[in-house]
Structure 1
Amino acid sequence: MTALPTATPTASDTEDGPFAWYRSLPVPGRRAFVGAFGGYALDAYDFQVLPLSLTAIAAYFHLNKGQSGLLTTVTLVVSAVGGILAGLLIDRIGRTRTLMITVGTYALFTALCGFASNYPMLLTFRALQGLGFGGEWAAGAVLVAEYASARYRGRTVAFVQASWAVGWAAAVVVTTLSLDHLSHGLSWRVVFWTGALPGLTLLYIRRHVVDAPADSNGGSGDSGENSDNGDSGDSATTEPAPRAPFWRIFEGRTGRITLFATLMSTGVQGGYYTIATWLPTYLKTERHLTIVGTGSYLSLLIGGAFLGYLCGGYLTDLIGRRKAIGLFGVLSGAILYSYIHIPTSANHVLLILGFPLGFCFSAIFSGFGAYLAELYPRTIRGTGQSFTYNVGRAVGAFFPTAVGFAAGSGGLGGALVYGTLGYALAVVALVGLPETQGSDLA
Structure 2
Amino acid sequence: MEPFKTIDSLKLNFNHIKIWYTAGMGFFTDAYDLFIIGAILDVFNAYKIPGFVLNPLYTGLLASSAIFTAIFGQLIFGALGDLLGRKKVYGVEASLLTAGAALSAISPNVLWLIIFRSVMGLGIGGDYPISATIMSEYANVKDRGKLVALVFANQGIGSLVAVAVGAISAFTLPPDIAWRVMALIGAIPAATVIYLRRKVPETPRYSALKGDTETLKKALGFVNGTKIDNGSESKNVKIKRMGLREFLSKYWLLLVGTAGSWFLLDIAFYGTGIYSGPIVSSILGKPSSLGTEIVYAGVPFMVGFFGYFTAVALMDKLGRKTIQTIGFIMMAAIYGLVGTLAISHGAKLIGFVIPATQAFALYALSYFFIDFGPNTTTFVIPSEVYPTSYRTTGHGISAAAGKTGAAITTFYFSVLLAQYGIKDILYMLGIISVIGAILTIIAVKEPKLKSLEEVSQDKVVLEEKNG
Deviates more, 1:371-380 or 1:424-433: 424-433
Q: Quick check: 1:256 aligned with 2:276? A: no
Equivalences for residues 19-418 of structure 1 within 5 A: 24-25=11-12, 28-59=15-46, 60=48, 61-64=52-55, 67-197=58-188, 198-207=190-199, 209-214=200-205, 223-224=221-222, 226-227=224-225, 247=244, 251-284=248-281, 287-289=285-287, 290-298=289-297, 300-339=299-338, 341=341, 343=351, 346-350=355-359, 352-353=361-362, 356-364=365-373, 365-411=375-421, 414-415=424-425, 417-418=427-428
Corresponding residue for residue 446 of structure 2: 435
Cα separation, 2, equivalents of 1:55 and 1:312: 32
Shift of 1:288: 1.1
Structure 2 letter corresponding to 1:363:
F
Tell whether the 8 Å contact from 1:273 to 1:400 is kept in structure 2 after alignment.
yes
Q: Provide the secondary structure at the position in 2 that maps to 1:173.
A: helix
Superposed displacement of residue 244, structure 1: 6.4
Deviates more, 1:299-308 or 1:251-260: 299-308
% identity of equivalent residues: 21
1:231 maps to what in 2? none
Deviation at 1:406, TM superposition (A): 1.7
Question: Is 1:425 paired with 2:435?
Answer: yes
Shift of 1:299: 5.1
Residue type of the alignment partner of 1:323: T
Deviation, 1:224, is 4.0
Q: Distance in 1 between matches of 2:302 and 2:65?
A: 28
By how many angstroms is 1:395 displaced?
3.2
Contact kept, 8 Å, 1:69 with 1:277, in 2: the verdict is: no
CA contact (8 A) 2:242 2:389 kept: yes
Counterpart Cα distance in 2 of 1:393 and 1:159: 20
Cα separation, 1, equivalents of 2:114 and 2:238: 35
Aligned length: 415
Question: What is the CA–CA distance in structure 1 between the aligned matches of 2:291 and 2:384, rounded to whole Å?
Answer: 42
* Larger Rg, first or second structure (1 or 2): 2
Aligned partners of 1:298 and 1:354 also within 8 Å: no
RMSD: 3.4
TM-score by length of 2: 0.78
For residues 288-345 of structure 1, the C-alpha deviation after alignment (integer angstroms, 9 at most, x for no partner) is 1244434544554233322211222343322332221111011123223444655368
- Larger relative contact order, structure 1 or 2 (CA cutoff 8 Å, min sep 6): 1
Query: Of Structure 1 and Structure 2, which has the larger fraction of its residues in strand?
Result: 2
2: CA distance between counterparts of 1:355 and 1:203?
38
Consecutive unaligned residues in structure 1, runs of 5 or more:
14-22, 229-238
Q: Report what 1:236 is aligned to.
A: none
Q: CA deviation at 1:142?
A: 0.9
Once the two structures are TM-superposed, the CA of residue 176 in structure 1 deviates from its matched residue by 1.0
Once the 2 structures are TM-superposed, how far is the Cα of residue 240 of structure 1 from its aligned partner? 12
TM-score by length of 1: 0.82
1:180 partner letter? F
Q: CA deviation at 1:276?
A: 0.9
Q: CA deviation at 1:347?
A: 3.7
The answer to whether the 8 Å contact 1:43/1:103 transfers is no
